[in-house]
Structure 1
Amino acid sequence: MRKNWKNKIIGLLILLVPFTFTACKENHNHEAETAAGIEYTCPMHPQIVRDKPGDCPVCGMTLVAKQTASTPATAISSDLNYLLQPANQTVVSNVKTTQPIQKQVQNEILLSGVVTYDTRQQSIIPARFGGRIEKLYVQFNYQLVRKGQKLYDIYSPELVTAQKELVYLLKNDPSNTSLINGAKQKLQLLGATSGQINQLIQSGQENYTFSVYSPYTGYVLDPAITAAPAPTAPATSSASGGDGMNSMGSGTPSTSGSMGVSGNSGPTTPSNGFAVREGMYVTTGQALLKVIDASQVWAQFNVASSQAKQLTKGTPITISFNQLPGQTVSAKVSLVEPVYEAQENFARVRASLPTQDKSTLIGQLITGKASYNTGTALWVPKESVLDLGTQSVAFLKVNGVFKPQSVQVGERANGMVEVLSGLSAKNVIAANAQFLVDSESFIRVAENNK
């Protein structure tokens, strides 16, 4: 009986030995982890941090080891192999493949712009002599005037003296044709018309108020106003411009006082729109009025520098009006002007537009479309190239497996991408590059030292 009791004690000790070693081992591992500074956190509640394994007191999930800042990072290799899983650097798959094609592709450029005045059709009417404005016959900006229409009456001592000289010669020395012709020429140089000179000869009496007539046909406005809407004009600019230009080419005077002046930053003008008013004195050479011929206007676009090289003088453009869907006008590029503005490089493209109908309004938003053929190059589907931000990658099939290949891309057109370098027409690549990249394969990489 005593012998059996001793055997039971020995057996129990033998059973406790493995548990003792296991507990010691776990204790040792925990002490090692504590010494290494490993912390544990809850994946769902990152505010829970413990220095030993356990369960989250909030949700009950098992705490996981937290990666510290001292954990060594994996650097990016230049061979792009970090994109692939598994770690044997190749992915065996039977995904769909394609080959680069050597060909020309027709591409389109979409241009956003606005209708603006042709600056070549703007003329300034200066004062040819000093004097006082007695009466203005134009009342507001963008009033339509015709060539030969009376603009204002002016009193000028210089002009009165010139008239008296001609009248005196005609009365006292009518046979002196050289002096008489000289007096007539002086009046003409001062701005007198042939009709005014003939009337002076017939009446023999000088006029103290002299009428000035418009030498141009167009819309009159104050010279301080810049009538050139920018391509980034707001959509409301076409509404303000429509009132003034609905009569373009029809001979009906405009009634808008602010048409086409998008974002005008010029000097403040009186209520009638002109800085020159009745009773004011003007000096010789002073710009009094501006006349804009709106029979020819510009379609003006701002284009990125990378696209501007495809547009040259004479390139056809199909222009559509945003407010008139379905209506298009064919035009050609007349000017490509490089511009540096607001710390950006771009090009200002202009095309001439006729205004025989009422659909072309100053300030109207328009969209242009230009087509061109690219040069012969290698083209691949856009899905077969993966954009990593700093570089582009295609997956090259070699001996039945795929490996990443860095490529340089150019233009994009019709779902295709131009490959400048990195591939040849004989290469076989994956048709869908994104399919070969496992989102779980991206691991934390070492940051570059700045």
Structure 2
Amino acid sequence: MERKNFLKTVAFISLAPALFLAACKEKSKEVADEKKQTYTCPMHPQIVQDKPGTCPICGMDLVPFDKNNKDASLVLGASQIALGNITTMVVGSGALSNFKQLNGKLATNPENTAVISSRVPGRIEALYVKETGVKVHKGQPLYKIYSEQLASLQQEYLLAVAQVRQFPDDARFQQIEKAARQKLSLYDQSDAQIHQLIQSGKANPYVVYPATASGYVAEVTVTEGQYISEGGAVMRLEGYTQLWVEADVYPSEASSVAVGQSVKVVVSGWENEPQMMTVQFIAPSFQSGSQLLQIRGTIPNPDNRWQAGLQANVLIPVKSKGNIISLPVDAVIRDGKGAHVWVEKDKGKFEPRKVKTGMENFDSVEITEGLKEGESVVVSGAYLLYSEYILKKGADPLTSI
């Protein structure tokens, strides 16, 4: 028994130095690991190396970071805050209005469209306006026509005038003259043209017709020398002082739109000049080949600044929510892991806070969870804090929350 104890003692004494040496080496290795510098990618914090290099994903140079720093907050000096334009606001509750955005476009208003048609059959001798896009004023000469039918009516009227002059007291001849004059008026012969006919005493088969409305020439449907029937279209004029706005509505959104409702229209390229419009029409059926309804309204077009076909967004107001916490959109940082904001805990000390969002419009977003009234939240410079955190910690803020 004593021999066995003696052997154990001898074995322990011989192994003790080796065990002590191994423990010292392990401890030295741990200290070395703690002091060893590590590097990460600013854009891909999952890339961690123990030496400088480039990111295998994006090729950016790796930056050093302290992997043993577990503090989730950032501390910045006054000069850093000023340089990064980091500003905060105290969270409070209030109302938040939202809009539903509908895709639309501008279209020509047919109420401002006029078709110039020939009142008599004949041959187009001259066209004074031949190009589309030309502005035409009411009363401006548009075309000259040769019409044997009109010449016959002129001759008939001259005969009636001669009979009235010869028999001024004959009521029957006066009625004939009045009826012949009425026929010429129905063929767009003005009083001045009829008076000139009387003065010349000779029928003229060549008649110049003026524009009956003002507008821009959208289409010319005849050419010089072409024969045209009575009522045949010569050209089409369009007015652009007002334009239609047509927008598509999904059936699920139709309940939020009503005739007479006031909506906002934003024309592409003129986002800073929104127009107010009243919904005048909602289509009773779907558009052909789609599951979309169409709404329509009219907006003014000062100085013809907009053209039919331009894209426009129609903003339908949605009932606002009250007594909610909301932040500017830029204050919330989102990625695949969720959304977070930066809260100022003390002067110059910022920490990330995971939040949940709700209703949102172009300027603000509702915070449904993660914040309470009275807290100070970063509203500008949040992305700079996000980048600074990755540079210093080598990890995404949401992984440390």
1:298 equivalent to 2:289? Answer no
Question: Does the aligned pair in 2 maintain the 1:323–1:365 contact within 8 Å?
Answer: no
Report the counterpart of residue 329 of structure 1 in structure 2: 275
SS in 1 for 2:302: coil
Following the alignment from structure 2 to structure 1, what is the Cα–Cα distance between the partners of residues 301 and 319? 31
Q: Which amino acid aligns with 1:299?
A: V
What do the CA deviations read for 1:403-446 (whole angstroms, capped 9, x no partner)?
xxxxxxxxx94478xxxxxxxxxxxxxxxxxxxxxxxxxxxxxx
After TM superposition, the score normalised by the length of structure 1 is 0.47
Q: Which amino acid aligns with 2:222?
A: V
| Fraction of identical pairs, as percent | 26
Q: Which runs of 4+ in 1 moved over 3 A?
A: 104-107, 412-416
Following the alignment from structure 2 to structure 1, what is the Cα–Cα distance between the partners of residues 316 and 307? 22
1:254-273 → structure 2 map (5 Å cutoff): none
Report the counterpart of residue 29 of structure 1 in structure 2: none
Q: Which amino acid aligns with 1:347?
A: L
Report the counterpart of residue 130 of structure 2 in structure 1: 139
Report the counterpart of residue 216 of structure 2 in structure 1: 219
Indicate the larger mover: 353-362 or 112-121: 353-362
Following the alignment from structure 1 to structure 2, what is the Cα–Cα distance between the partners of residues 183 and 161? 11
Report the counterpart of residue 279 of structure 1 in structure 2: 225
- Counterpart of 1:192 (choices 189, 203, 210) is 189
Question: Does the aligned pair in 1 maintain the 2:120–2:147 contact within 8 Å?
Answer: yes
After TM superposition, the score normalised by the length of structure 2 is 0.53
Following the alignment from structure 2 to structure 1, what is the Cα–Cα distance between the partners of residues 239 and 192? 25
Report which of the two has the higher share of strand. 2
What do the CA deviations read for 1:103-136 (whole angstroms, capped 9, x no partner)?
x985421022111111222222222221000000
5+ unaligned residues in a row in structure 2: which ranges? 1-94, 323-357, 367-401
Indicate the larger mover: 342-351 or 175-184: 342-351
- Counterpart of 2:142 (choices 123, 127, 151) is 151
1:183 equivalent to 2:129? Answer no
1:161 equivalent to 2:152? Answer yes
Structure 1's 161 and 342: CA in aligned 2 closer, same or farther, altered over 3 A? closer
What do the CA deviations read for 1:265-300 (whole angstroms, capped 9, x no partner)?
xxxxxxxxx331000001112222222222221111
What do the CA deviations read for 1:294-325 (whole angstroms, capped 9, x no partner)?
22211111121211221111211211221123
Q: Alignment length, in residue pairs?
A: 227
Indicate the larger mover: 286-295 or 178-187: 286-295
1:4-403 → structure 2 map (5 Å cutoff): 106-174=97-165, 175=168, 176-222=173-219, 274-373=220-319
Following the alignment from structure 1 to structure 2, what is the Cα–Cα distance between the partners of residues 220 and 109? 37
What do the CA deviations read for 1:334-363 (whole angstroms, capped 9, x no partner)?
111144335322111112111223432222
Deviation at 1:189, TM superposition (A): 0.9
SS in 1 for 2:157: helix
Report the counterpart of residue 42 of structure 2 in structure 1: none
Q: Which amino acid aligns with 1:287?
A: A
5+ unaligned residues in a row in structure 1: which ranges? 1-103, 223-273, 377-411, 417-450
SS in 2 for 1:301: strand
Report the counterpart of residue 395 of structure 1 in structure 2: none
Report which of the two has the higher share of helix. 2
Q: Which amino acid aligns with 2:190?
A: T
Question: Does the aligned pair in 2 maintain the 1:299–1:352 contact within 8 Å?
Answer: yes
Q: Which amino acid aligns with 1:193?
A: S
Following the alignment from structure 2 to structure 1, what is the Cα–Cα distance between the partners of residues 206 and 160? 21
Question: Does the aligned pair in 2 maintain the 1:338–1:346 contact within 8 Å?
Answer: no
Following the alignment from structure 1 to structure 2, what is the Cα–Cα distance between the partners of residues 194 and 220? 27
Question: Does the aligned pair in 1 maintain the 2:287–2:294 contact within 8 Å?
Answer: no
